[in-house]
Each structure stands twice: as structure tokens, then as C-alpha cells.
Amino acid sequence: MSGQLIINGIVNASLIAPPAIAFSLLFGILRFPNFAIGAYVTVGAFIAYALNVGAGMPMWIAGLGAMAGTAVVVWLSDVLVFKPMRGHTPVTLLVVSIALALIIEHIIRLFYGADVRGFDLPLERPIKFAGLRITGEQIDIIVMTIVIGIAIHLLLQYTRIGKAMRATADNETLAEVRGINTSYVIAFTWFICGALFGLTGVFAGLDLVIEPLVGWYLTIPIFAAAILGGIGSPYGAMLGALLVGLAEELTVLVLPSSYKIGVGFVIIAVLLLIRPHGLLGQPEIKK
Amino acid sequence: MSAYLISMATFVGFFMILALALNLQWGMTGMVNFGIAGFYALGAYTSGLLSVKLGWPVGITIAMSCVTGLIAGGLVALLSMRLREDYLAIVTLGFGEIVRLIALNEDQITEGPRGLKIDARPFADMFDRETYPLVYLALVAAAVAVVFVIVECIRRSPMGRTLRAIREDDVVAEVLGKNVLRHRVQVFALGGAFMGLAGALYAHYVQNISPEVFMPMVAIFIWMSVIVGGAGNNWGLLLGAGVVMTILEGSRFLGDFIDFLDAEQLSAIRIIVIGVLLIAILRVRPRGLIPEPKFSFAASSTEQGRQPSTENAK
Amino acid sequence: MNRKITRRSALITGGAIAAAGVFAPSIARAADPINVGSLTPNTGGGGPFGPKITSAHKRVVDLVNSEGGVLGTTINLFQENSETNPETAVRAADKLINVNKVVGILGTWSSSVTLGIMPKCQEAGVIQMCTSSSADIPVRDEKGYVFNFQALSPVWGRAIARLALRRGFKTFNLMALNNDFTRSMMDGFTEIVGKDKLLQDSFYYNGGQSSYRSEVTQLIEKNPEAVFIPSYVTDFTSVYKEIFRQGYEGQVITVSISTGEKFKEAIGDAANGIIHGLPVPPIKSPAYAEYVTETGLEPTDGVQHPFGTAGRDQMSVLLLAIEKAGSAEADKVSKAIWDVTTGDGKETVYNVTDGLKAIRAGKEINYSGASSSVEFDKEGMVLGRDFQLAEIKDGKDVVIERLEF
């Protein structure tokens, strides 16, 4: 059983890694945990659903549409809600993000209700090897996540905009002084993250079920992964996702599964107690 | 109608106690607590279980709820003393969820998802059915008053100044020779005790509690109360609790007049309105309806986020 | 409540009294007509079902009002959303009881909500009609005001188990959603099949998880011939996808509330082969046929809107009982509810219109509904709903077994 659980854990990880990277990048510029990420993911799932089932488009076009559409929604949430409130305390912004999550979730509910939905794709039977099972779709998701991880890495390390993003995350004022157009960089970051949330919505729609709370279910594992990896560190977020994904699966070996939902929290708590800045995060230097 | 108002006033009372406790922890000391539902549940279940399973008198069980809240608060504070405030938000949220999971899964003790029926009510024999809701309201009002006085006394005392110093900058407070850890643990524990008290009063009022009552949403309502009312200001958040309950409950009455929307859409709109109002209040009055009075040292604080945000008011 | 206390309370509630002025018209208006409350799970766990109950309640009230009401007066319906959350529901019930002065609160679905508002309803003398399943409901209803239109969930579990044994399955594993309804259903199932047929300990899972992979791995590890999963539709959809993806070839058995039309749309062809059971209306019942027409549904072999049908019956029974009792007092109405639903040798009616006519003509009636024939035991729990097991074939429910009571 434990072999299968490890595969399960890797699949979990590849679902939460992209949004954990996005959450981490956003945290770099926002400095508060944005609780609306779950709602962004839900938006992605519903846009993909509308394109795939509503408009009859193939899944890959629906997926790209969901990424683009969610990027716009996420960017708008900054323009309309967060940007005018920059400079408020992290906790105020956190509460605002919860309010925003409620608003988005219920706008979706207003139009779609609470029914369960799925994409127009047949469910797949697994490929079996050595008593272990994985589906082609899951392999696709894992591969895409790895590609995304590498792409984000390349973006941050080698492109002008990526370097500007890192500089802005490190110290916005200093970046501004050095001639970086930080408001452009911030908008770009929101777009990239929005696209990642949109993609996660597609993955979540494939893996779970499309309904107004689907993104919310992922929120705590995403937080756990990002915090575990060290907030602000995209590579850490990937590592964090892997550990959270595995931990949630392996829990059943030692605890009744009815406690599984608490595992993410326990990981966060224990890790923060040992390494308050995460596995790969830099300790914050108090001024 | 008046029976309804008495009942809502009682519910506002629970919110007020929770909001005062949160104000002590966060508004005055800067310690974030998103596990309010957990402390509330702990208080409710402590008092409920002691009274149902062991038959203890209600007065004692309510006191025990304060004690469990106190201990839990102290432990959470001790465990998380090194954390930044936004991390503390997630750890406390986790505390709340784990309390709920225990209430849900350990059904030999808690009755699990069936919920716990609580017959015992304070002073129930001494009054008739008609007057009892008023008696209970008076009891809750007294509890609010006691908590208010304690929190307000702390705020005005030298300890209150220390707490604000910790809130503004704990490193400076430490340098100034204040025992930051001890103050934090004390405040968090005391806040936990108040939340436990609110939980116990809630449990004996509704007489039926189940894990589903204590979802994280409760914490969000209390946060709204404190932020809307004005963090740091005890009068403000009494108003805030009233405003939040009025929005929550007042929107019910819309449904009696609007019939072109179905119930599902109406309830979606209701929550959208609550969310928009909250964001709007925070935009227009970022420091709440009744802001905390300024203290001289606050002006010298260098932390940008803590500054009364005049630049945001434009 | 006497006037003196009212005035005093007004003083005490202070600021809140301003609100009273705003809502005063609704009190004045609410004096004469009969007020009925509906408290349904329009969001939250019951979200997929609540709106159907809500609209069923409304349809019956609109119909009766258009035909002149009950006891010569119109019915005012006040509808609230419980959010499937007892914390919210208690306050909503408070509003229905104290502001709208309702005779009854109909349509609660989750047991925790039904039980959560029970102390208030009992104290205020308000009738409750629910589709909940906790065995605690009859125990805690001390005044006989609670009528449950749903069989208690151990009954579901036992019935599904009997039907499953008839199909010849020898080994089972079970996992249940972690709530009262589904947990006690699992217990009922275990009682009938016997522990020796279970390959491993049964376990619970929580809804709202980011993955159900480990649960499914655990469930199918010993490759039982059949798995039984008492669940709700949202979590079951995710769970079933995972069962399919992990290559389980045995028989999946669940409750029909998890496998409605929306489930089949979401899952597609992979849903074929699932067996599911549910207490059903006598499907040939005229009342059920009327319900299907009223809602504009396509008639199918399968059971649609299991809770919407109950919503229709709740409201019909309440209004018939009020007419029968000649009063909207809880004690009289609750007695009249037995009169109009239970007992032999009466004229059977299938809808509220016919029922009202018959009562006014001085006849004894027995209402037979769209959700069941609506006969209550002495505790107010619905008796003997038929039970059916269906298999999904080509995206449609095909009835394979039926237990009739």
C-alpha cells in the first residue's frame, strides 16, 4: 500500500505545487497571506468548464482560456481591491482577502448554483505496473508541473522581468530607486500568478469536482506547501508541495483518515516552530 | 418581535465577548487569532460535557470553560511565540480546525456529529418561560460588562501601554526591558478564557451544540466586528459586533420582500453584500468606525503598516 | 408575553429597537394570515438539494393561496437559508419563530440543523418537518412536534445491505462520509451483512478535502467484491473519480442522493455500473407523477428530487392539518397531522387541492405523497418508504431490486 501512497502523494504535490509557487511569488510583493487564492482557483475551474462544456471547445483550449481569464480576474482583484489598500497592515489585508474570497465564491454560486460539474472528458483507467497505478492524465499533470517549475525558475533567474520581480520582492523601494517600474512588475506578477491559479483550477476540475468551493479545499494544503518551503521561495514551494502531498497520504498509515484534513495544519505548526522561516526561506532580519 | 430582538441581543452579546477577547489579543497586543472558533468550541464543549456527562452545576462548568480556555490560550501562545503575525494566523486557524476535528471524531466523549444536547441552564428553575430569555440576556450582558471592564482596565493600566509597545514593535519593547513573552502568554491566555466563557454561555443558551457550529466562519465574523468597530478601541467593537449582527440578520428581512430571486440566489447576494460592505468600510474608514485614540508614542513608530493611513484615505 | 415585559425588553435591547421600527409593518401585517416558515439548506453541504425543497414549499403555498387559502385566510410563507449550518440556522429559526410567528418550520435537512433548532421550536410550540435521519430526533422531540419525512439512516443502510446480499456479493469494505447520516447508515449496513464479510475495519472520511486518494487506496487495497460508500454527492463525485482512476473493478454501492443527474453528467460513461439505493416514492404513485409535472421534469424511471418531493409533502400535510384542526395552534395541528396522513379506511388524496376539498366536504383523508405514502409512527417518523436499488446503465438509472413495505 505504501508504494501506491507515495505515487498518490506525488500526484497531490503536482496539483498544489503551481499554486504554491504563485502564492509564494505573490507573498513576495504583497507581504500578506492572500486567502482569496482558493477563489481564484475556483474561477479557473469554472472558466474552463464554461469553455469546455458550455462552448464545446477542446480541453487544451479551455485550459489556456482558463489561464488567461483567471489571470485577468486575479489582476483585476489587485487593481480594484488590493492596490488601493497597499500600506495597510498584513492582517487587515488578510481579512480583505477573506472577504474577497467570499464575494467571488458567491458570485459563482449566483450563476452556477452548488451542483457538481465535470469536464467533457472521459475518466481514465490507470496504467498498472508492479501493483502500482497511475493514469495518463496524472502523468500529464506531473509533467506539466515540472515544466512550470523549470519555466518559473528560468523566468526568475535569466530574464529581465524575472530579475526585476526578484528585486521588487526583495525591496520594493530599492527596486524603484534602481529604475525598475515596480507597478509594471507587480502587475506582471499578478498575471503570471493568475495564470497559475487558472491552471490549477483546470487540474482541480479534472482531479476533484467543479463546484464553488473546490478552490477552498486546496487553500490550506497550498499555504502549508508555501510556508513549508519558505514563503517567497518558489523552489521551496515545490519542495513544500512534495512534502505536504506525501504527508497527507502517508497519514493514513498512522492516523484514522478522519484526521487527515488536520495534517496540513500540523505540518505548518510543527515546521514553523522549528524553522520559523521555512525550509528554504531566508530568515527575516528585524530592523 | 421583541422576543426576536432579545434573542439577537443575546447573540450579539456572545459576539461582543469574543470581539473583546480578540481586541485584547490582537487590537491591543498585536497577536493574531484565527482560531476563535476553536476556543469558542472548547468553552462550549467543556461546559456542556461537564454538565451533561458529570452532572456538575452550571455555575462551575462555566467557570471550568474559562479555565480550559485560559490553559489552551496559554499553550498556543507559548508554542507560537516566535511566529510572525501572519503565520500565527494560520497556526491558530489550524488550532480551531483541530479542536473541531476532535469534537467530530472522538464521539465516545463528544457525541461526534450527532451533537450534544444540553438541558442545564443557569437559573432556569427560578423564572418562567416568558421571562427567562430576558434573564439570560441580563446574564450575558453582565458577562459582557465584566469582560469589558477587565479589558478596559488593562488598556488604561501601565500594562496596556506595554502591550501597545509590544504591538508596535516587540524588539523595542524587549530592549526597553519588558518581558514580551510573559505579557504575550498572559494576554493570549486571558483572551482564551473569555472566549471559553462565551462558548459556555452560547452552549447553555442554544442547548444543542455540534462540531458544525464551530466552523472558521465564526472567526471571520468576529474579525469583522473588531475591524469594523475599530481595533484597539473597546467601545468601537461593541458597536462593530452590533453592526455585523445587523448586517447578518438584517439581510434576512430582505428575503421577505424580494421574491424575484430564489432562495439560493438571495443567500449568495447576501454574502456578496456582506463582503463588499466589509471591504468598503475598510477602504473608507481603515481604522474602524470608532478608531483607537492616538497615543503619543504611536506617532514615533516607524513601522509603515501600523501608521494611521492618511495616505489611504484619499 | 405580557405587555410589561415587552416594554422592559424594549428598553434593554436599546439600540436594536431602532430596527424594530423598520420591521414593524411586517408584524402588523402578520397578525391575521397563517405564517409558515421554510428553512432549507440552500448553500453548504445541502446546497444541491435545498433549492428543490424551497421551491416545492413555495409551489404548494402559491397553489393553495390561488385557490383561496386555508381556513379562509392566505398563507404567508417565510423562507430562510440554513446554510446547512446549525449556527446560522438557530438565528434564522429565531427570526421565523419570533418575528414571523410561524406555525411550523419545514424543510430542515441536515440532522445537526434539525436538532440544533429543536430546543427553540419545542419551547415556542412550533412544528418541525424535516428530512433528517439522526436516530436522536425522535428521542429529543419531547412534545411530539417533529415529523420526519425521511426514514432514519440505519434503515437505509439495512435496506441497501439486504439488496446487496441478494445480489450475491461475499466480501465488502466500507467507508463513510464523517457525519451522522452517513455514519449511521454504515452501521445499519454492517448490522445486516455481518462483520465477518468485511475484509478490514470500516472508516470515515471528511468532506472538503483536497484529495481522497489515500482513502480510496485504503478502501480497495484488499480488493473486496463490493465497496459501500454512504456519502453526499459532492464528496462522492471526487471519491468515485479516484476509485475509477485507481482501477477498482469490483462493485461500487452508494446512496442515490450521491448519483443524481448532475453526478452522471459530471462523470460521464464511467458512472455506468454503480449500484445505488434510496427510499423511494411508490414510483407509480399519482402524487409522484404530479410532482414531476409540476416541476417540469422529464419523466424517467429513476427517482428525481428525493428531497424536493418531501418538500411538497411537508407543506401539503401541514396545510391540510391546519384546515383539519381548524386552528393553527401547534398542539391541535400536530394531532391533525396524524389524522390527515395515517390510518386506514379514509379517502386517499394525492395533492393538497383534493385534500382541502375533501376535508371541507367533511371527509376523513389520508394524504399519500410524492416522497412516500406519508404514514407516521407514534414518534412522528415516516413509516415504510419503499426502497429501491438501481444500477446506472448507459447513463440512466435502471431499477434492479425493490423492497416494498
CATH label of the domain that carries residue C198: 3.40.50.2300
Residues of C in contact with A121 (CB under 8 A): 268
pLDDT tens, residue by residue, C213-236:
999 999 998 899 999 999 988 899
Å from A87 to nearest chain B CA? 5
Q: Check: CB of residue C134 under 8 Å from CB of residue B107.
A: no
Q: Is the pLDDT of residue A92 over 60?
A: yes
Which residues in B lie closer than 8 A to residue C6 (C-beta atoms)? 2
Q: Please list every residue in chain A whose beta carbon sits closer than 8 Å to the beta carbon of residue B304.
A: 87
pLDDT tier at B261, thresholds 50, 70, 90: low
Highest mean pLDDT among A11-25, A87-101, C145-159 belongs to: A11-25
Chain A residue numbers touching C205 (CB-CB < 8 A) = 257-258, 260
Mean pLDDT of the A181-196 span: 92
Q: Which B residues 279-298 touch C at CB under 8 Å?
A: none
Chain A residues in contact with C267 by the CB 8 A cut-off are 118, 123
pLDDT above 70 coverage of chain A, percent: 96
Cross-chain residue pair A92–B105, CB shorter than 8 Å: no
Chain mean pLDDT for chain C: 85
Which pLDDT does position A124 carry in this prediction? 86
Is the CB of residue B267 less than 8 Å from the CB of residue C81?
yes
For residue C245, being part of any structural domain is answered with yes
Domains observed in chain B: 2-312 (1.10.3470)
Domain membership flag for residue C392: yes
Upper half-sphere CA count for residue C178 (Cβ side, 13 Å): 27
Whether C263 and C372 have beta carbons less than 8 Å apart is answered as no
B307 band by pLDDT with thresholds 50, 70 and 90: very low
Mean pLDDT within C239-264: 91
Angstroms from A166 CA to nearest CA on chain C: 30
Q: Decide which of C101 and B285 is more confident.
A: C101
**Which ipTM did the prediction report?**
0.90
Do residues A164 and A185 touch, judged by C-beta distance below 8 A?
Answer: yes
CA–CA separation, B220 and B203 (whole Å)? 20
**How far is the alpha carbon of A283 from chain C, nearest alpha carbon, in Å?**
30
What's the mean pLDDT in C150-167? 87
User: Using CB atoms, which chains have 3+ pairs under 8 A with A?
Assistant: B, C
Residues 117-146 of B with CB under 8 A from C: 117, 129-131, 134, 137-138, 141
Query: What local confidence, expressed as pLDDT, does residue B295 receive?
Result: 56
The residue-averaged pLDDT of A238-266 equals 85
- Which of B7, B209, B214, B258 to mutate: most C Cβ within 10 Å? B7
Q: What's the Cα-to-Cα distance from B27 to each of A92, A262, B236, rounded to whole Å?
A: 11, 28, 11
- Return the residue in B212, B245, B251 with the most chain C beta carbons within 10 A, the one to mutate for interface testing: B212
Which residue in C36, C82, C112 has the most chain B C-beta atoms within 10 A of its own C-beta, making it the best mutation to test that interface? Answer: C112
CB contact under 8 A, B9 and C16: yes
For chain B, the straight-line distance linking the first and the last C-alpha, in angstroms and rounded, comes to 42
CA R_g for chain C: 22
Q: Is residue C240 part of a domain?
A: yes
User: What integer is the mean pLDDT of B51-78?
Assistant: 92
Domain assignment of residue C181, given as a range? 153-281+385-403
The minimal CB distance from C238 to the residues A16, A122, A208 is found for A208
Flag whether residue C234 sits within 8 Å of chain A, measured between CB atoms. yes
> How high is the pLDDT of residue A282?
64
Within-domain flag for C208:
yes
- Give the other-Cβ count within 10 Å of A130's Cβ: 6
Asked if residue A226 lies in contact with residue A280, where contact means CB atoms within 8 angstroms, the answer is no
Residue C174 in domain: yes
Q: Is residue C203 part of a domain?
A: yes
Per residue in C279-292, pLDDT (tens digit) is 877 777 888 888 88
Percent of chain C with pLDDT over 90: 38
Long-range pairs, C168-172, Cβ under 8 A, ≥24: C169/C225, C169/C226, C169/C251, C170/C197, C170/C225, C171/C197, C171/C198, C171/C199, C171/C222, C171/C224, C171/C225, C171/C226, C172/C197, C172/C198, C172/C199, C172/C224, C172/C225, C172/C226, C172/C227, C172/C228
Residue A282 Rama label (left phi>0; alpha psi -120 to 50; beta) = beta
**What is residue B1's predicted lDDT score, i.e. its pLDDT?**
64
B161-207: pLDDT as tens digits: 888 888 877 777 777 777 878 888 899 999 999 999 999 999 999 88
Whether the pLDDT of residue A199 is over 90: the answer is yes
The predicted model scores a pTM of: 0.85
Q: For residue B213, what pLDDT band results from cuts at 50, 70 and 90? A: confident
Residue C293 has pLDDT above 50, yes or no: yes
Domain count, chain C: 1
User: N- to C-terminal Cα distance for chain A?
Assistant: 50
The span from the CA of B17 to the CA of B145, in Å, is 9
Residue A80 is given by DSSP the state: I
CB atoms within 10 A of CB C181: 26
The DSSP H or E segment spanning B233 is none
Higher pLDDT, C301 or C141: C141
From the CA of A97, how many Å to the nearest CA of chain C?
Answer: 20
